[in-house]
Amino acid sequence: MSEELEAQRELTEDLLARLVDPRENVRETAAEALAVSTEDEDWRPDDLILGEGIGIITDLLGDRNIHIVRSAIAIIIAIATAGEEEALVSHGVIERLDRIQDHKDPLIREKVHEALWLLTPEVEDVVASKTQDEY
Protein backbone atom coordinates (compact mmCIF):
# COMPACT_ATOMS: atom_id res chain seq x y z
CA MET A 1 0.00 0.00 0.00
CA SER A 2 2.87 2.43 0.70
CA GLU A 3 4.11 2.06 -2.89
CA GLU A 4 0.66 3.10 -4.08
CA LEU A 5 0.65 6.12 -1.76
CA GLU A 6 4.12 7.10 -2.92
CA ALA A 7 3.04 6.85 -6.56
CA GLN A 8 0.00 9.03 -5.81
CA ARG A 9 2.19 11.60 -4.06
CA GLU A 10 4.58 11.72 -7.02
CA LEU A 11 1.70 12.09 -9.46
CA THR A 12 0.26 14.97 -7.43
CA GLU A 13 3.67 16.69 -7.33
CA ASP A 14 4.04 16.27 -11.09
CA LEU A 15 0.58 17.69 -11.77
CA LEU A 16 1.23 20.65 -9.46
CA ALA A 17 4.44 21.41 -11.35
CA ARG A 18 2.54 21.30 -14.64
CA LEU A 19 -0.14 23.66 -13.30
CA VAL A 20 2.38 26.51 -13.30
CA ASP A 21 3.75 25.74 -16.76
CA PRO A 22 3.67 28.78 -19.07
CA ARG A 23 2.00 26.72 -21.82
CA GLU A 24 -1.78 26.90 -21.57
CA ASN A 25 -2.36 23.40 -22.97
CA VAL A 26 -0.07 21.87 -20.33
CA ARG A 27 -1.89 23.74 -17.52
CA GLU A 28 -5.28 22.75 -18.92
CA THR A 29 -4.38 19.06 -19.18
CA ALA A 30 -2.89 19.01 -15.68
CA ALA A 31 -5.87 20.85 -14.15
CA GLU A 32 -8.34 18.50 -15.79
CA ALA A 33 -6.33 15.43 -14.72
CA LEU A 34 -6.19 16.64 -11.14
CA ALA A 35 -9.91 17.45 -11.14
CA VAL A 36 -10.74 13.98 -12.47
CA SER A 37 -8.50 12.36 -9.85
CA THR A 38 -10.60 13.94 -7.09
CA GLU A 39 -13.55 11.84 -8.24
CA ASP A 40 -11.80 8.65 -7.08
CA GLU A 41 -13.37 7.43 -3.84
CA ASP A 42 -9.89 6.92 -2.35
CA TRP A 43 -8.72 10.45 -3.20
CA ARG A 44 -7.47 12.52 -0.28
CA PRO A 45 -6.26 16.13 -0.48
CA ASP A 46 -3.30 15.61 1.89
CA ASP A 47 -0.56 15.61 -0.78
CA LEU A 48 -2.16 18.60 -2.44
CA ILE A 49 -2.27 20.56 0.81
CA LEU A 50 1.25 19.60 1.90
CA GLY A 51 2.65 20.38 -1.55
CA GLU A 52 1.41 23.99 -1.51
CA GLY A 53 -1.18 22.92 -4.05
CA ILE A 54 -3.95 25.11 -2.67
CA GLY A 55 -2.02 28.26 -3.55
CA ILE A 56 -1.38 26.95 -7.05
CA ILE A 57 -5.04 25.95 -7.51
CA THR A 58 -6.20 29.32 -6.18
CA ASP A 59 -4.01 31.13 -8.71
CA LEU A 60 -5.71 29.17 -11.51
CA LEU A 61 -9.00 30.91 -10.70
CA GLY A 62 -7.64 33.95 -12.55
CA ASP A 63 -6.70 32.03 -15.69
CA ARG A 64 -8.33 33.16 -18.94
CA ASN A 65 -8.98 29.55 -20.03
CA ILE A 66 -12.44 28.58 -18.73
CA HIS A 67 -11.54 24.87 -18.69
CA ILE A 68 -8.69 25.58 -16.28
CA VAL A 69 -10.93 27.73 -14.06
CA ARG A 70 -13.66 25.07 -14.05
CA SER A 71 -11.15 22.39 -13.08
CA ALA A 72 -9.69 24.58 -10.33
CA ILE A 73 -13.15 25.11 -8.85
CA ALA A 74 -13.89 21.38 -9.05
CA ILE A 75 -10.68 20.71 -7.10
CA ILE A 76 -11.58 23.34 -4.50
CA ILE A 77 -15.02 21.77 -4.07
CA ALA A 78 -13.41 18.34 -3.65
CA ILE A 79 -11.01 19.67 -1.00
CA ALA A 80 -13.87 21.33 0.89
CA THR A 81 -16.01 18.19 0.63
CA ALA A 82 -13.10 16.18 2.06
CA GLY A 83 -13.32 18.30 5.22
CA GLU A 84 -10.38 20.62 4.56
CA GLU A 85 -12.31 23.88 4.44
CA GLU A 86 -9.93 25.59 6.85
CA ALA A 87 -6.94 24.94 4.58
CA LEU A 88 -8.83 26.63 1.75
CA VAL A 89 -10.01 29.57 3.84
CA SER A 90 -6.50 30.20 5.19
CA HIS A 91 -5.20 30.45 1.60
CA GLY A 92 -7.68 33.20 0.68
CA VAL A 93 -9.86 31.03 -1.54
CA ILE A 94 -13.10 32.77 -0.53
CA GLU A 95 -11.78 36.16 -1.66
CA ARG A 96 -10.57 34.73 -4.98
CA LEU A 97 -13.93 33.01 -5.56
CA ASP A 98 -15.74 36.25 -4.73
CA ARG A 99 -13.82 37.97 -7.55
CA ILE A 100 -15.21 35.60 -10.17
CA GLN A 101 -18.83 35.32 -8.98
CA ASP A 102 -19.95 37.30 -12.02
CA HIS A 103 -17.86 35.32 -14.52
CA LYS A 104 -19.20 35.29 -18.08
CA ASP A 105 -19.39 31.46 -18.05
CA PRO A 106 -22.63 30.25 -16.40
CA LEU A 107 -21.09 26.94 -15.26
CA ILE A 108 -18.27 28.80 -13.51
CA ARG A 109 -20.81 31.06 -11.77
CA GLU A 110 -22.76 27.98 -10.65
CA LYS A 111 -19.65 26.18 -9.35
CA VAL A 112 -18.39 29.31 -7.59
CA HIS A 113 -21.72 29.54 -5.80
CA GLU A 114 -21.43 25.87 -4.76
CA ALA A 115 -17.85 26.34 -3.52
CA LEU A 116 -18.74 29.46 -1.54
CA TRP A 117 -21.70 27.66 0.00
CA LEU A 118 -19.30 24.95 1.23
CA LEU A 119 -16.75 27.45 2.55
CA THR A 120 -18.96 30.12 4.10
CA PRO A 121 -20.69 29.17 7.34
CA GLU A 122 -24.32 30.03 7.68
CA VAL A 123 -25.10 32.80 10.17
CA GLU A 124 -27.16 30.39 12.27
CA ASP A 125 -24.19 28.00 12.53
CA VAL A 126 -21.85 30.76 13.70
CA VAL A 127 -24.36 32.08 16.24
CA ALA A 128 -25.14 28.59 17.55
CA SER A 129 -21.44 27.77 17.97
CA LYS A 130 -20.59 30.87 20.04
CA THR A 131 -20.91 30.79 23.78
CA GLN A 132 -22.81 33.55 25.55
CA ASP A 133 -19.53 35.13 26.68
CA GLU A 134 -18.42 35.66 23.06
CA TYR A 135 -21.23 38.11 22.31
- The pLDDT value recorded for residue 15 is 93
Q: What length does the chain have? A: 135
| Sequence spans of domains, the chain | 2-121
Question: What kind of fold does domain 2-121 have according to CATH?
Answer: Leucine-rich Repeat Variant (1.25.10)
40 against 51, higher pLDDT: 40
How far is the C-alpha of 99 from the C-alpha of 113, rounded, in Å? 12
Average pLDDT score over residue span 105-134:
74
Q: Is residue 122 over pLDDT 80?
A: no
Q: What pLDDT, in 10s, does the model give residues 85-97? A: 999 999 999 999 9
> In this structure, are residues 88 and 80 in contact, taking their beta carbons and an 8 Å threshold?
yes
Share of the chain above pLDDT 90, in %: 70
Q: Is residue 7 over pLDDT 60?
A: yes
Q: Is residue 134 over pLDDT 70?
A: no
State which amino acid sits at residue 110. E
The chain-wide mean pLDDT, for the chain, equals 88
91 against 121, higher pLDDT: 91
Print the SS3 string covering 10-72: HHHHHHHHHHCCCCHHHHHHHHHHHHHHCCCCCCCCHHHHHCCHHHHHHHHCCCCCHHHHHHH
DSSP 105: S
Average pLDDT score over residue span 89-114:
96
- The pLDDT value recorded for residue 124 is 43
